[in-house]
Amino acid sequence: MTMQDSTSAPLARLVGTSAEAPASDRRAIDSRKVVLGNKARSVAMSFREEAISPSIVSGIAAILDFLLMIAIGIVGLKVWTDDFSSITQSQFGPLIGVPILTVFGIQVIQDYSIGAIRQGIRRVGRSIVVLLLTISALLALMFVGEVGIAMPRDWLLIWAASQLASLVLSSLIVTSLVRHWTHQGRLQTRAVIVGGGAPAEDLIKAVERNGRNELKILGIFDDRKDDRSPENTAGYPKLGNVAELEVFARLAAIDMVIVSIPLSAEARLLQILKRLWVLPVNIRLSALSSRIKLRPRAYSYIAGVPFLDVFDKPIVGWDRIAKRIFDVVFASLALVVFSPVMIAAAAAVKLNSPGPVFFRQKRYGFNNEVVSVLKFRSMYQEMADPKAERVVTRDDTRVTTVGRLMRRTSIDELPQLINVLKGELSLVGPRPHAVNAHTAHKLWEEVVDGYFARHRVKPGVTGWAQINGLRGEIDKPEKIQERVQYDLEYIDNWSILFDLYILFLTPIRILNQENAY
């Protein structure tokens, strides 16, 4: 039996049933009915602050090396001459080229990894060797190839010394930061284990033996209550069952869920994965004691322990930073461009009916956190529905004359640009739904299997479902199911270019819509 034979098809069905599962197979996750024990809550509250991505630390180290080498090189140039106009073109080559080649060389020998940075002096020594080799190559090019031969020798000495000093300074700064963050526990991958007994104990011992600084195990979750799942395993407490893990993961900033259940227990394994894939975490299967041997490339390794990757947390590391920059830049521009429209809309709301200009509604944000979404008020104040108890329909008498126009053109959504700047929403993403949103007296998480998987990323002012015509009243289960399908497709295929595509198509789709009222 192969891994592909035993699990791939069921896992594919698991992912694909988010909006297609029969009603009898749907299991809504209602975290509001699950209460964490005191021990689990205490651990969760201790890890509210997010860990720092290793890729971000590596990037910061490389950028700092590059910028300091250039900056201190320029200072050295200033020391050598007070007149920058006398600098020859050949001097700019080393000033820019050597930092680029040095950073590239350090990256090649993998000295920007967290493990290498933690080595301190040894890593500094290797970085200096890379720099000296780069400078030696420059000197060889000068004297053998007669390139830049007229470059002043005294300037070369000052410049080389400045590059050495900047690289040492940068390395010391980064090493100090990494040690500080390590002490705080912010550079460890925070994980919880699902499944107890001997497999969990073996996994914990392997982690502690190979990489205690790399992986931080917070505790164990297991539905079993017999001797196969004791209250304490290898010094780590049992924090609850799988249902409680869902609540725990909403409170604690964890990075990974490790399932230490034998692959032969397929039914139990799939049942657990079906409940957990909606969480914004990496989900890994421990392959430590698996009898199924795959090619080495099939595994990922953390703390020297092999894992099979099942689900990945979307939009992490530099992708997350890029998306945030995208949001801030375009939301700021949009506020400037649409400020006359927003001022006119605010005045129209105030003149059309008594009450406040803005309307706030509690909606689901990232990881099921509840955020207060801002809109222009489109209903009469006394008929406002902050709890979304009643869906807005065509010719709804609760909607004001101005509100009807704003809702049709989506002008009422413009204040959500403020939510974007505050970091509560993104410009593009699954639309934030009201906490109690429902169809036919059923909450949407009860209608759509895997509904909360759309909350693995920040919700957006506009989204992939909306530009595909899915706006307005949701009076049938099929409508919310279709929206969730588009939301999950967006999450799986996210890129900055995809966001740009959706953003620029949004005005066109708004002008051609017929079902927003």
Query: Do residues 133 and 80 share a domain?
Result: yes
The pLDDT of residue 145: 59
Query: Do residues 59 and 32 share a domain?
Result: no
Is residue 343 over pLDDT 90? yes
Kindly give, in sequence order, each residue whose CB lies less than 8 Å from that of residue 217, ignoring residues fewer than 6 positions away: 191, 192, 193, 204, 207, 236
Task: Please check whether residue 377 lies inside any domain of the structure.
Answer: yes
The pLDDT of residue 22: 37
H helices of 196-307, in order, are 197-210, 242-251, 266-276
Q: How far apart are CA 183 and CA 255, in angstroms?
A: 18
- Give the mean model confidence (pLDDT) for residues 6-24: 41
Query: Do residues 27 and 64 share a domain?
Result: no
The pLDDT of residue 88: 58
Is residue 15 over pLDDT 60? no
Query: Do residues 298 and 152 share a domain?
Result: no
Question: Confidence class of residue 4 from pLDDT cuts 50, 70 and 90?
Answer: very low
Is residue 19 over pLDDT 70? no
The pLDDT of residue 513: 66
% of the chain exceeding 70 in pLDDT: 83
Question: Confidence class of residue 201 from pLDDT cuts 50, 70 and 90?
Answer: confident
Task: Please check whether residue 356 lies inside any domain of the structure.
Answer: yes
Residue ending a domain, among 164, 184, 204, is: 184
Task: Please check whether residue 517 lies inside any domain of the structure.
Answer: no
Q: How far apart are CA 191 and CA 194, in angstroms?
A: 10
Q: Which residues pair with 191 in a beta bridge?
A: 217, 256
Closest of 366, 316, 283 to residue 494, by C-alpha: 316
The pLDDT of residue 23: 36
The pLDDT of residue 185: 79
- Give the mean model confidence (pLDDT) for residues 373-380: 91
Query: Do residues 108 and 226 share a domain?
Result: no
Counting the structural domains of the chain, the total is 3
CA 450 to chain centre: 19
The pLDDT of residue 326: 96
Residue 279 Rama label (left phi>0; alpha psi -120 to 50; beta): beta
Which domain covers residue 85, as residue numbers?
54-184
The pLDDT of residue 80: 66
The pLDDT of residue 10: 41
Q: Report the predicted TM-score, pTM, of the whole model to 2 decimal places.
A: 0.82
Query: Do residues 137 and 60 share a domain?
Result: yes
Contact by Cβ (8 Å): 54, 61: no
Query: Do residues 384 and 465 share a domain?
Result: yes
Contact by Cβ (8 Å): 364, 435: yes
Contact by Cβ (8 Å): 277, 14: yes
Q: How far apart are CA 413 and CA 125, in angstroms?
A: 56
Is residue 467 over pLDDT 50? yes
Most confident of the ranges 81-95, 322-336, 370-384: 322-336
Per-residue pLDDT reduced to its tens digit, 238-262:
999 888 998 999 899 999 999 988 7
* 3-class SS of residue 182: helix
The pLDDT of residue 416: 96
The pLDDT of residue 37: 87
Task: Please check whether residue 516 lies inside any domain of the structure.
Answer: no
Mean pLDDT over the full length of the chain: 83
The token duo for 77 is: 């140039």
Question: Confidence class of residue 376 from pLDDT cuts 50, 70 and 90?
Answer: very high
The pLDDT of residue 434: 86
Per-residue pLDDT reduced to its tens digit, 393-435:
777 788 888 988 898 888 999 999 999 999 999 999 999 988 8
Query: Do residues 431 and 284 share a domain?
Result: no
Choose between 195 and 29: higher pLDDT: 195
The pLDDT of residue 289: 67
The pLDDT of residue 18: 41
Question: Confidence class of residue 358 from pLDDT cuts 50, 70 and 90?
Answer: very high
Query: Do residues 288 and 330 share a domain?
Result: no
For 194, phi then psi, to 5°, come to -105, 120
Q: How far apart are CA 110 and CA 297, in angstroms?
A: 19
H helices of 81-120, in order, are 89-108, 114-117
Task: Please check whether residue 345 lies inside any domain of the structure.
Answer: yes
Question: Confidence class of residue 7 from pLDDT cuts 50, 70 and 90?
Answer: very low
Query: Do residues 110 and 35 share a domain?
Result: no
Residue ending a domain, among 146, 168, 184, is: 184
Which CATH number do you get for residue 36? 3.40.50.20
The pLDDT of residue 232: 83
Question: Confidence class of residue 293 from pLDDT cuts 50, 70 and 90?
Answer: low
Task: Please check whether residue 238 lies inside any domain of the structure.
Answer: yes
Query: Do residues 289 and 322 share a domain?
Result: no
Choose between 218 and 72: higher pLDDT: 218
The pLDDT of residue 300: 84
Q: How far apart are CA 268 and CA 262, in angstroms?
A: 10
Task: Please check whether residue 80 lies inside any domain of the structure.
Answer: yes
Q: Which residues pair with 378 in a beta bridge?
A: none
The pLDDT of residue 297: 67
Task: Please check whether residue 401 lies inside any domain of the structure.
Answer: yes
- Give the mean model confidence (pLDDT) for residues 209-230: 79
- Give the mean model confidence (pLDDT) for residues 333-344: 95
Contact by Cβ (8 Å): 243, 332: no
The pLDDT of residue 431: 93
Most confident of the ranges 13-27, 306-320, 326-340: 326-340
Is residue 121 over pLDDT 60? yes
Residue ending a domain, among 119, 153, 184, is: 184
Query: Do residues 357 and 439 share a domain?
Result: yes
Q: Per this entry, what is the length of the chain?
A: 517
